[in-house]
């Protein structure tokens, strides 16, 4: 192809651009190049330009299609230098028009600058204490301080403010004229907490520092104490485990907040009276004693006093969530960056000798002076805050992507064209009011690609599209990233994929036939989890931000990528990260990209509050949000909308425009035309959503029945585990043969008949117990039962190989292709029986994320959501009409049969407040819901909820209580986040944690060579030596007649292939690729773990 390059670069960027383009093309003008080049060569040019790009870079590439026509292929750098066709402006006119996303600026930007800079000046003053200075020099035998340095810093700041007067002007005036000699008077006002004295006399308890602080001082004080971690109530010896009542949240800061919301170090038995005294002694003086520090204080105070907005009207800045949390983000990042920077001597007072940190790379040598460090953080905060509002415009983005712009011609996906068309018509409204979208298209209709097309259509093309795709399962990230790259023609410098570990990435690349790859200050800790691998070949444009983040290449990757595909766990720390450093990366990502939440209803009910907090934060940071799932419950959708709308209110105020409280909303699916509306109230949204859902339900009801279900009664004589497992196994066994008779395929040449079915159980241990019992019985005459045990506790390499095999076999678009699958063909040729039943015994890992098509399924019920999701794996790729049930559902689950009062839980929705009086699910059969399995029971709220007698009603009622609270009981509901003033703390996060679960242990198989018997070891991490674990081996390799393992994957054989194709030894390969995660390996009172090459690792039930 022949292409022309046009450069509109400025300053040094022009020199770099010329150097790149001169190597590939002929220069035919000062800033114009032309050449004939291949597609691969053009990609190389684009990558090199991106690598050297800065904020002054602007290069367009035009494809000469004919004598009279050229086509803009891409733009690297500033898109505003060209129009959408690549033309360069020759004149400018001034006209009042609607502000676009390109023009957005924050009216509180300077307030953010001042708050973060002043807080930076005070944030580490507490490090001047004798105890901390001794710790830096290795002389603190205690190893910690009873009161952390940020708490001491807060008390010093409190002393300065309250000794100055009662207004912000008074303490800022004092700061404007502060002298080193003033330190003595300030420290004389210091409130010195003393836990040991408080125990003897409760009257000595010091009150919260916040009562009496004027608005600006209040915000600065909060920034100081929270710059490492958000405050939260930590149960202590003084307060016990009493949870602060949420109904009095407005009084927490003034009445409840004390030192034990920051740290409980003071309660340690190691702490003595001397330690507490040394915690409040400053023999070297605080930085107030430094002339350099005082000069910086004078400068900042003068700027604050002359800024009317900061002081006018007594604005409660701590209640302005956008302003105070942006200031905190700036402060945390500034602290992180400067802590990793070199020493700046000009900010040091030669007579001041206290230090802030040590140099880990220099063996713990003292590094930055304390006055210098505080000044440096204040200066960095000043610089970074100025660039924060325009950060998005300086980062790479997607534009001119043909795969996202062209319409699809396939009938199955034509609905995407209408969705994109609607998105284009509401682009301006979405830019002005924000966007909350709901994609309810059915499973298998291309929601993933449609979501990207919708967000691309909504984006301002002058800026380009930047989006984060948050998934529920880490196994989906790699395949989603690969699918988008393949379908859209994107490169690895357009999409970043966050993978759970290097092992997962290498296994994925191995199976894709890719080449193997070789593999003193809390503020300097890594901002991105070092265990996470980011697959991304692009780079951040050369800018001040890139220079600041030169010591955080992973954060650069996370920020730079136009599209980020990750599990939601990597975005969630924006609100859930209690330690400040972990919040920086996801907050910057939310600030600079839109958000797609994939299958948000797939999370446990306990995760919904955290999910609402994330959506609220996305709205507050100006992001557009699209939630995508076919089974979204109305109360969940309305709850997420309310969270987004409340967050967007803060963003609107911050932008200083007379914007309304409306939000641009849209609904999409494959059955009816998409709908858009600009809505202001929750009730208005609920009406619009109900109308859309009603139309969708009417269309779903008209569709041919693909999936019918029937209850399968379990006849059990008792409730002991052994009796229940025996009865369930017998019931499932009968169901397998019944369903095979109904739905099997016949091979024309041999008359052999096969079916592939799924038996889904809620939990691993009951699953293995049922499978073991069932498979101990011989198969019926002329039948062969091929079984596979699929759950999360197989060695990583075994599970990965198993999923690859199942992905291939269960791709059923061409029904006749099943006979060519090696796993099927080999099984049929190896055994003479006429009937071959392939059964996958699986947990919930089979429900979501896997593009599998089974002939039938048997389900242990846990929730209607799981039943619907699993039903989507039956006849997923085939359009057939179901006459007889192809899904059988046990009428009760294992927990119900064994007498548990809470049966449909873990997973499920039963709670102490919402319980079924009768655990038998006969009402589902009687209501006709099972006659045609669709999403209707989930997406439509019943007129009257009877949560005690109907599983579907229970789910709706339970989720409503989780989001909005119980009528007669005040709880930490999701809505508390935006209804109560709690965002200054992590108290809601502490009480409603995301994915709260017991810590698991990492196990792995250790092999020295291929002849070695594997031993199971536990990896403690943190440099500790792994130790062997007492696990009972189960090497059963003989089964009754007619029963045999399917996909019998040998760990040794799989590792042998890896060892042969890489430079890894057996021990390294087994350590890396045989990981298994198990909760409570040595838990007292539990049965010993058993490991089987076929069944994985599990605990026997009896």
Average pLDDT over residues 47-52: 88
Average pLDDT over residues 935-942: 93
What was the pLDDT predicted at 299?
A: 96
The residue ranking higher by pLDDT, 790 or 235, is: 790
Q: Closest by alpha carbon to 448, among 489, 404, 406?
A: 404
The pairing of beta strand 32-36 with beta strand 26-29: antiparallel
- 1023 dihedral zone (left: phi>0; alpha: psi -120 to 50; beta): left
Q: Say if residues 983 and 325 touch (Cβ distance below 8 Å).
A: yes
Q: From CA 174, how far away is CA 1053, in angstroms rounded? A: 75
The residue ranking higher by pLDDT, 177 or 395, is: 177
The residue ranking higher by pLDDT, 851 or 424, is: 424
CATH number given to 709-971? 3.40.50.300
Distances (CA, A) of 921 to 441, 707, 817, 953, 1071: 28, 18, 38, 12, 45
Asked if residue 1069 has pLDDT above 60, the reply is yes
Sequence-distant (6+) residues with CB within 8 A of 13 are 52, 53, 54, 56, 57, 77, 542
What was the pLDDT predicted at 228?
A: 93
Which range among 222-231, 244-253, 429-438, 712-721 shows the weakest confidence by mean pLDDT?
244-253
Distances (CA, A) of 1002 to 893, 924, 1022: 30, 41, 12
Tokens standing for 28? 């035919």
Asked if residue 804 has pLDDT above 70, the reply is yes
Spell out the SS3 assignment of 329-347: HHHHHHHHHHHCCCCCHHH
pLDDT one-digit tens code per residue, 156-186: 999 999 999 889 999 999 999 999 999 999 9
Q: From CA 200, how far away is CA 195, in angstroms rounded? A: 9
Q: Of all helices (H) and strands (E), which one includes residue 1098? A: strand 1096-1098
Task: Name the one residue in this structure whose structure tokens are 């940190």.
Answer: 357
Which range among 278-282, 984-988, 1086-1090 shows the weakest confidence by mean pLDDT?
1086-1090
Q: From CA 385, how far away is CA 391, in angstroms rounded? A: 10
CATH number given to 2-91? 3.30.70.240
Asked if residue 514 has pLDDT above 50, the reply is no
Query: What secondary structure does DSSP assign to 489-525, as a single string?
Result: T--TTTEEEEES-HHHHHHHHHHTTPPP-----GGGS
Q: From CA 229, how far away is CA 578, in angstroms rounded? A: 5
Q: What is the mean pLDDT of the chain?
A: 89
Name the percent of the chain in helix, strand, coil, to the closest 5: 45, 15, 40
Q: What is the DSSP-derived secondary structure letter of residue 168?
A: H
Which range among 88-97, 204-213, 552-561, 980-989 shows the weakest confidence by mean pLDDT?
88-97
Which range among 131-135, 201-205, 589-593, 739-743 shows the weakest confidence by mean pLDDT?
201-205
Q: Say if residues 858 and 729 touch (Cβ distance below 8 Å).
A: no
How wide is the angle at C-alpha 590 spanned by C-alphas 993 and 999, nearest 5°? 25
Q: What is the DSSP-derived secondary structure letter of residue 1014?
A: P
Average pLDDT over residues 626-630: 94
What was the pLDDT predicted at 1085?
A: 58
Sequence-distant (6+) residues with CB within 8 A of 1070 are 1004, 1005, 1006, 1007, 1014, 1051, 1055
Predicted confidence band of residue 519 (pLDDT cuts 50, 70, 90): very low
Which range among 177-191, 352-366, 690-704 shows the weakest confidence by mean pLDDT?
352-366
Q: Say if residues 348 and 369 touch (Cβ distance below 8 Å).
A: yes
Tokens standing for 1061? 């194709």
Tokens standing for 696? 């969708």
Listed in order, strand segments (DSSP E) in 926-1055 are: 1000-1006, 1015-1019, 1027-1028, 1032-1033, 1043-1045
The pairing of beta strand 887-890 with beta strand 856-859: parallel
* CATH topology identical between 392-675 and 709-971: yes
CATH number given to 392-675? 3.40.50.300
What was the pLDDT predicted at 998?
A: 65
- 287 dihedral zone (left: phi>0; alpha: psi -120 to 50; beta): alpha
What was the pLDDT predicted at 1086?
A: 65
Q: Say if residues 151 and 225 touch (Cβ distance below 8 Å).
A: yes
**Domain boundaries defined on the chain:** 2-91, 109-388, 392-675, 709-971, 1000-1098
Asked if residue 1077 has pLDDT above 70, the reply is yes
Q: Closest by alpha carbon to 919, among 898, 899, 896, 900?
A: 896
Q: How many CA atoms lie within 13 A of 737 on its CB side?
A: 13
Which range among 219-223, 500-504, 549-553, 591-595 shows the weakest confidence by mean pLDDT?
500-504
Sequence-distant (6+) residues with CB within 8 A of 756 are 809, 810, 838, 839, 840, 854, 855
Query: What secondary structure does DSSP assign to 278-322, as a single string?
Result: HHT--TT--GGG-HHHHHHHHHHHHHHHT-HHHHGGG--GGG-HH
Q: From CA 938, how far away is CA 867, in angstroms rounded? A: 11
pLDDT one-digit tens code per residue, 1001-1032: 889 999 888 777 888 999 887 778 888 888 88
Q: Could you give the 3-state DSSP secondary structure of residue 256? A: helix
Which range among 13-17, 500-504, 770-774, 897-901 shows the weakest confidence by mean pLDDT?
500-504
Q: Say if residues 938 and 697 touch (Cβ distance below 8 Å).
A: no
Q: From CA 560, how far away is CA 494, in angstroms rounded? A: 9
Asked if residue 241 has pLDDT above 80, the reply is no
| Dihedral in degrees, nearest 10, Cα atoms 395, 399, 403, 409 | 140
Asked if residue 509 has pLDDT above 70, the reply is no
CB-CB neighbours of 341 under 10 Å? 17
Which range among 711-715, 865-869, 892-896, 965-969 shows the weakest confidence by mean pLDDT?
965-969
Task: Name the one residue in this structure whose structure tokens are 């529920």.
Answer: 472
Q: Closest by alpha carbon to 509, among 539, 533, 484?
A: 533
Q: What is the DSSP-derived secondary structure letter of residue 780?
A: P
Predicted confidence band of residue 587 (pLDDT cuts 50, 70, 90): very high
Percentage of the residues of the chain whose pLDDT score is greater than 90: 62
What was the pLDDT predicted at 240?
A: 57
Task: Name the one residue in this structure whose structure tokens are 């309660």.
Answer: 267
Average pLDDT over residues 530-558: 70
pLDDT one-digit tens code per residue, 830-859: 999 999 999 999 998 888 778 899 999 999
Q: From CA 112, how far away is CA 1039, in angstroms rounded? A: 70
Predicted confidence band of residue 655 (pLDDT cuts 50, 70, 90): confident
Asked if residue 488 has pLDDT above 90, the reply is no
What was the pLDDT predicted at 515?
A: 31
Q: Of all helices (H) and strands (E), which one includes residue 359? A: strand 358-359
The residue ranking higher by pLDDT, 387 or 975, is: 975
Q: From CA 8, how far away is CA 58, in angstroms rounded? A: 5
Q: From CA 120, how far away is CA 136, in angstroms rounded? A: 21
What was the pLDDT predicted at 517?
A: 28
Q: Say if residues 552 and 527 touch (Cβ distance below 8 Å).
A: yes
Q: From CA 160, how far away is CA 990, in angstroms rounded? A: 32
Q: From CA 1047, how far away is CA 801, in angstroms rounded? A: 9
| Cα–chain center distance at 329 | 18
Sequence-distant (6+) residues with CB within 8 A of 1084 are none
What was the pLDDT predicted at 96?
A: 47
Which range among 26-40, 306-320, 399-413, 539-553 shows the weakest confidence by mean pLDDT?
539-553
Rg over alpha carbons for the chain, rounded to the nearest Å, is 31
Predicted confidence band of residue 582 (pLDDT cuts 50, 70, 90): confident
What was the pLDDT predicted at 585?
A: 87
Question: What strand order describes the sheet that includes 2-7?
Answer: 26-29, 32-36, 2-7, 58-64, 70-77
The residue ranking higher by pLDDT, 539 or 224, is: 224
Q: From CA 424, how far away is CA 457, in angstroms rounded? A: 5
Q: From CA 198, how far away is CA 205, in angstroms rounded? A: 5
pLDDT one-digit tens code per residue, 277-298: 999 999 999 999 999 999 999 9
What was the pLDDT predicted at 98?
A: 47
Average pLDDT over residues 572-600: 89
Distances (CA, A) of 306 to 2, 103, 249, 380: 58, 27, 34, 21
The residue ranking higher by pLDDT, 490 or 58, is: 58
Question: Model-level pTM?
Answer: 0.89
How far from each other are the two terminal CA atoms of the chain, in whole angstroms? 70
Asked if residue 521 has pLDDT above 60, the reply is no
Looking at the DSSP bridge assignments, the partners of residue 77 are 58
Query: What secondary structure does DSSP assign to 568-613, as a single string?
Result: GGGTTHHHH--BHHHHHHHHHHHHHSEEEEESGGGS-GGGHHHHHH
What was the pLDDT predicted at 478?
A: 79
Q: From CA 939, how far away is CA 566, in angstroms rounded? A: 26
Average pLDDT over residues 363-373: 92
Angle of helix 149-162 relative to helix 168-176, nearest 10 degrees? 100
């Amino acid at each position: 192809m022949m292409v022309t390059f046009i450069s509109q670069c400025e300053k040094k960027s022009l020199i770099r651009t010329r150097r790149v383009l001169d190597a590939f093309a002929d220069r035919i003008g000062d800033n114009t190049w032309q050449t004939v080049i291949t597609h691969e060569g053009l990609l190389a040019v684009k990558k090199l330009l991106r690598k050297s790009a800065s904020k002054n870079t602007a290069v367009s590439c035009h494809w000469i299609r004919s004598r009279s026509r050229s086509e803009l292929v891409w733009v690297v750098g500033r898109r505003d230098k060209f129009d959408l066709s690549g033309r360069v402006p020759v004149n400018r006119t001034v006209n009042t028009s609607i502000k676009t996303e390109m023009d957005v600026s924050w009216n509180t930007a300077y307030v953010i600058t001042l708050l973060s800079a002043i807080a930076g000046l005070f944030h580490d003053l507490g490090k001047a204490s004798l105890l901390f200075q001794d710790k830096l020099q290795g002389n603190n035998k205690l190893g910690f301080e009873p009161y952390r340095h940020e708490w001491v810093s807060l008390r010093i700041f409190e002393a300065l403010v309250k000794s100055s007067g009662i207004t912000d002007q008074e303490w800022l005036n004092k700061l404007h004229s502060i002298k080193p000699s003033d330190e003595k008077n300030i420290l004389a006002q210091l409130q010195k907490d003393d836990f040991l004295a408080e125990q003897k006399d409760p009257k000595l308890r010091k009150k919260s520092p916040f009562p009496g602080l004027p608005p600006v001082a209040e915000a600065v004080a909060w920034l100081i104490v929270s710059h490492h971690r958000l405050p939260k109530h930590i149960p202590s010896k003084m307060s016990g485990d009493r949870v602060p009542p949420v109904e009095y949240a407005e009084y927490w800061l003034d009445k409840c907040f004390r030192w034990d919301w920051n740290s409980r170090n003071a309660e340690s038995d190691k702490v003595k009276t001397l330690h507490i005294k040394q915690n409040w002694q400053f023999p070297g003086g605080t930085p107030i004693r430094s002339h350099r520090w005082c000069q910086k204080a004078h400068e900042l105070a003068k700027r604050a006093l002359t800024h009317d907005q900061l002081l006018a009207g007594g604005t409660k800045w701590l209640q302005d969530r956008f302003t105070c949390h942006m200031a905190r983000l700036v402060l945390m990042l500034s602290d992180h960056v400067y802590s990793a920077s070199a020493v700046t001597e000009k900010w040091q007072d030669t007579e001041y000798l206290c230090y802030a940190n040590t140099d880990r790379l220099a063996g713990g040598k003292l590094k930055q002076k304390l006055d210098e460090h505080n000044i440096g953080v204040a200066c960095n905060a000043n610089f970074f805050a100025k660039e924060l509002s325009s950060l998005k415009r300086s980062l790479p983005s997607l534009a001119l992507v043909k795969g996202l712009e062209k319409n699809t011609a396939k009938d199955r996906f034509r609905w995407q064209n209408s969705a994109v068309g609607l998105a284009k018509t509401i682009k301006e409204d979405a830019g002005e009011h924000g966007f909350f979208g709901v994609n309810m298209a059915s499973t298998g209709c291309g929601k993933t690609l449609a979501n990207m097309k919708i967000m691309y259509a909504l984006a301002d093309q002058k800026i380009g599209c930047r989006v984060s795709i948050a998934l529920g399962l880490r196994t989906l990230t790699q395949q989603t990233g690969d699918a988008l790259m393949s379908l859209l023609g994107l490169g690895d410098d357009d999409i970043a994929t966050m993978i759970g570990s290097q092992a997962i990435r290498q296994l994925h690349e191995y199976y894709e036939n890719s080449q193997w790859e070789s593999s003193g200050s809390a503020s300097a800790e890594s901002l991105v989890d070092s265990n996470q691998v980011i697959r991304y070949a692009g780079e951040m444009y050369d800018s001040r931000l890139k220079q600041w983040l030169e010591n955080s290449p992973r954060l650069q990757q996370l920020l730079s990528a136009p599209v980020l595909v990750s599990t939601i766990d990597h975005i969630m720390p924006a609100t859930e990260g209690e330690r400040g450093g972990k919040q920086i990366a996801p907050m910057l990502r939310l600030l600079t990209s839109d958000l797609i939440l994939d299958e948000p209803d797939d999370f446990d009910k306990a995760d919904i509050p955290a999910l609402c907090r994330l959506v609220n934060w996305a709205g507050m940071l100006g992001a557009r949000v699209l939630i995508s799932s076919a089974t979204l419950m109305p109360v969940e959708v309305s709850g997420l909308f309310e969270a987004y709308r409340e967050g967007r209110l803060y963003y609107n105020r911050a932008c200083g425009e007379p914007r309304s409280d409306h939000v641009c909303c849209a609904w999409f699916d494959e059955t009816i035309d998409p709908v858009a509306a600009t809505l202001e109230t929750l009730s208005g949204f609920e009406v619009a959503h109900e109308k859309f859902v009603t139309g969708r339900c009417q269309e779903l009801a008209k569709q041919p029945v693909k999936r019918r279900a029937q209850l399968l009664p379990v006849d059990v004589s008792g409730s002991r585990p052994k009796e229940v497992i025996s009865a369930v196994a017998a019931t499932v066994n009968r169901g397998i043969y019944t369903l095979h008779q109904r739905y099997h395929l016949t091979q024309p040449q041999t008359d052999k008949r096969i079916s592939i079915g799924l038996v889904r159980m809620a939990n691993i241990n009951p699953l293995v117990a049922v499978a073991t019992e069932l498979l101990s019985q011989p198969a019926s005459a002329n039948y062969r039962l091929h079984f596979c045990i699929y759950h999360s506790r197989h060695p990583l390499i075994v599970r990965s190989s198993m999923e690859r095999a199942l992905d291939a076999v269960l791709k059923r678009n061409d029904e006749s292709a099943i006979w060519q699958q090696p796993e099927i063909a080999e099984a049929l040729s190896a055994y003479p029986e006429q009937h071959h039943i392939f059964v996958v015994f699986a947990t919930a890992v089979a429900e979501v994320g896997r593009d599998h098509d089974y002939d039938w399924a048997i389900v242990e019920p846990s929730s209607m959501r799981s039943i619907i999701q699993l039903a989507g794996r039956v006849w997923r790729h085939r359009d057939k009409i179901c006459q007889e049930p192809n899904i059988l559902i046990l009428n009760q689950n294992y927990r119900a049969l064994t007498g548990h009062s809470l049966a449909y839980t873990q997973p499920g929705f039963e709670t102490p407040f919402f319980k079924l009086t009768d655990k038998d699910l006969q009402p589902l059969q009687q209501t006709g819901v099972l006659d045609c399995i669709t999403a209707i029971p989930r997406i439509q709220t019943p007129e009257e909820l009877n949560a005690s007698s109907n599983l579907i009603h229970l789910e709706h009622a339970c989720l409503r209580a989780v989001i909005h609270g119980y009528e007669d009981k005040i709880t930490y509901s999701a809505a508390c986040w935006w209804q109560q003033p709690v965002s200054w703390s992590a108290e809601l996060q502490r009480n409603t944690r995301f994915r709260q679960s017991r810590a698991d242990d990492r196990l792995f198989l250790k092999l020295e060579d291929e002849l070695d018997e594997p031993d199971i070891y536990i990896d403690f991490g943190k440099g500790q030596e792994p130790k062997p674990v007492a696990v009972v081996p189960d090497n059963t390799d003989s089964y009754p007649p007619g029963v045999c393992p399917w996909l019998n994957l040998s760990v040794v054989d799989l590792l042998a292939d890896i060892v042969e194709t890489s430079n890894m030894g057996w021990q390294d390969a087994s350590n890396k690729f045989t990981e298994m995660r198990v909760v409570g390996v040595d838990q007292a009172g539990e049965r010993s773990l058993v490991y089987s090459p076929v069944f994985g690792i599990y605990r026997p039930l009896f």
